[in-house]
Amino acid sequence: MKVLVTGATGFVGRAFVAQLVARKYVEVLALTRRAPADPVAGVKYFWGGDVSSQTQWQSALAGVHSLVHAAARAHILDSTDADQLTEFRRVNVTGTLRLAEQAAVMGVRRFVFVSSIGVNGSQSQIGKSFSEDDQPSPHSAYALSKLEAEQGLSDIAAESGLEVVIIRPPLVYGLNAPGNFGSLMRAVQRGWPLPLGSVRNQRSLVALDNLVDFIVTCITHPQAANQTFLISDGQDLSTTELVRRMAQAAGVSARLLPVPVWALQAGATLLGKGDAVQRMCGNLQVDISKARSLLGWAPPVSVEEGLRRAMAL
């Protein structure tokens, strides 16, 4: 069975490709923007620039059974909100749908789309987790582009018979995690004092190995076809507890200052970082009961083990 992966050099895509190769029961193909600097042994690579309405994928799609689409435009600097939405749509919507259309024509059976929990919203209500049945409430241009891609994929599935699986993960953590979480990991490893000792929220996260395992499940499980799934580690943590566990995993002392959340928010807003603090201190919980009941899936890696792997020096 051939499995084609986009975004194969990214944080999630590379780990997924490596896991497929390790399992030795599929032929792994990878689509990248350019030739990879450190290719995974046993993988056949195709590269052809950006994902867009003009990209031709046919040569890579020939004979493919399942396609995992992990490529996306996630960050845009120095542009207006309108410009950001236009660029997100160019890659995350138009490019994704062109890929799906060509996949359907080439006889690909299943299209697994790595979306975002941002489609549900930026915060869940206290005591109420997000679920697949919630009305979408995207909180950013990026999340809106993911929702529009999901809707377009559903239309293509209905018209062509292509099986589409949509996965909406929350924040993904692991070794060499990018972004704000990676910065937090490095701060904890270095023993820096952090003003996060009074955060009493609850947040769902997903270890990279758990997300990869779930994607592997979705490429073949018959009950996954044309379904949307929310996943996580199955254990929610406050930001304060998360930092404590990160420090424990790294073998260092957690240096947490008990700064009130309102003070954190006020200071961050003055510095133009209010959204980052909201993401770190707000609630965001997801219900993974659908993945458990429909697919029989359970996270293979505990939070403790996930953090140990992430914090490995």
Report the alpha-carbon distance of residue 114 to residue 135 in Å, rounded. Answer: 19
The H or E element spanning position 151 is helix 141-160
292: enclosing H helix or E strand: helix 289-295
Are the beta carbons of 50 and 10 closer than 8 angstroms? no
SS3 181: helix
Catalytic residue among 25, 45, 142, 173: 142
Strand-pairing partners, residue 168, are: 230
C-alpha closest to that of 85 among 3, 140, 23, 155: 140
Active site residue 142: yes
CA distance 253 to 193: 10
Contact 147, 136 (CB under 8 A): yes
Catalytic residues: 142
